[in-house]
Amino acid sequence: MGVIAKTPAPPYYAVIFSSLRTQGDKGYSSMAAEMLDLAVEQPGFLGIESVREELGITISYWKDMESIVQWKNNSRHQRAQQLGRSKWYSSFKVRVVKVERDSEI
């Protein structure tokens, strides 16, 4: 993405998704773009930061835990999660954290 998300004053939540990809695209790029467009439309979505080298890290920011649960349960997102497990990721981890402080330099 190349952009630092503009987030509100804390508290808010972050979902940290760390992953190792399998070889080949297998439809990953188009689904990733679709998921970004879908996330932006979700109530409570605040922003996203993402980098991918060998290890990929995507951090999405959310207003509250309810917003995260609704995103996790979104039917299109659930389909992407299934494909991630079966085709795109050799390993991944999801962490949910409450942001209590942020600062800029």
Q: Where are the domains of the chain?
A: 19-99
pLDDT of residue 1: 46
Nearest residue to 88 via CA among 30, 14, 48? 30
Residue 96 is classified by DSSP as E
Q: How far apart are CA 75 and CA 78, in angstroms?
A: 5
Task: Quick: pLDDT tens for 16-52.
Answer: 999 999 999 999 999 999 999 999 999 999 999 999 8
Q: How far apart are CA 18 and CA 95, in angstroms?
A: 8
pLDDT of residue 3: 86
For residues 104 and 98, the model is more confident at 98
Question: Contact, 44 vs 9, CB < 8 A?
Answer: no
Question: How many residues are there in the chain?
Answer: 105
Coil, strand or helix: which one is 95? strand
Task: State CA 31 to chain mean position distance.
Answer: 13
Supply the CATH classification number for the domain 19-99: 3.30.70.100
Q: Tokens at residue 39, please?
A: 């996330």
